[in-house]
Amino acid sequence: MYDSNHRAINYLRLSVTDRCNLRCMYCMPEEGIPFMPHGEILSYEEMLHTVRLCVQVGIRKVRLTGGEPLVRKGILQFIERLCNTEGLEEISLTTNGVLLKEMARALRQCGICRINVSMDTLRRDRFHHITKRDAFERVWEGIEEAESVGFHPIKLNVVAIKGLNDDEILDFARLTLRKPYHVRFIELMPVGEKNAWISERFLSIREILDTIRPLGPLRPVNPAPLDGPAERYVLENALGEIGLIGAMSHHFCEKCNRLRLTADGRLRGCLFSDQETDIKTPLRQGRGDQHLLEIIGNTILSNSLAF
């Protein structure tokens, strides 16, 4: 299905929970934030019903997100059912990796195609500073376990922050020379009331690319049909890839193919837009599928470029 800007929408980002077991400094305060009451969160059955309807309007890829999706009780059983949804071509997962070691094999067996792991540093002390949790070894062991059970590629999401982890850009890039990982550098984006802090720490993907260039020639990689917005490159003789996501400096709105379903049942076309549609209420009122399909279709059709 196409939106008002003639973009084919085929990718659903599904947040299964608002809860997280880390407290990353650019995301939430160390003491946490008030979480939604459990009854406000969509049930797994409601999520599956909505996904099946989204498939009818053209969704072919689902990415599970949170919060941290692996903290939700019963997540493996849900994923197994999701992976059996007819019409879906790809189901992936974004995780902070804390619970990945214990769950990697089961996730693979359920049918998850690939895993993205948030990993902003290769240093234990800095990991604790960023996340306020001492879980560096657990996350790294989870990444290695995911590799051992056959996940490929494994994508490492690195939020690049000036004065915090920008001195590790070359270390992450060199990692692709010896590991088949896709390291993706992501620009820091505004979250909550931290905009002034973010402005001071912002590092553009052009600056990141200039930092990497001394390692050697970077060969561009053409995107696949269901790929996200990353600019992809490969260093000579590298086993992995380098990706750059410039959500702030290089808006990819004209190529965006995403629909988003929040944990509390709201459909959004764009993270940067306040426009959203409540699908939870009609779901719980027992409205028919035709009505729900109209809600999904109208949400897509009304989606407009954010920039």
* Grouped pLDDT means (10 residues each) for the chain, 307 residues: 73 96 84 85 98 96 97 98 97 98 98 97 97 97 98 96 96 97 90 60 93 96 78 96 81 75 92 84 97 94 61
Q: Check: CB of residue 229 under 8 Å from CB of residue 14.
A: no
**Residue/partner pairs of 199-202 with CB below 8 Å, 24 or more apart:** 200/162, 201/161, 201/162, 201/163, 201/164, 202/162, 202/248
Q: Check: CB of residue 245 under 8 Å from CB of residue 187.
A: yes
The dihedral over CA atoms of 288, 289, 291, 295, expressed in degrees to the nearest 10, equals: 140
How far the first Cα of the chain sits from its last, in Å, is 21
Quote the pLDDT of residue 307: 42
Give the dihedral sign, CA 134/103/189/175: positive
| Distance (Å, whole) CA 60 – CA 10 | 5
Decide: residue 137, CB within 10 A, 0-12 exposed, 13-18 middle, 19+ buried.
exposed
Of the candidates 298, 304, 257, 258, the one whose C-alpha atom is nearest the C-alpha of residue 278 is 298
Quote the pLDDT of residue 226: 66
Quote the pLDDT of residue 66: 94
Of the candidates 238, 246, 193, the one whose C-alpha atom is nearest the C-alpha of residue 218 is 238
Q: Check: CB of residue 67 under 8 Å from CB of residue 20.
A: yes
Quote the pLDDT of residue 159: 95
Query: In this structure, what token pair is assigned to residue 253?
Result: 């709105």
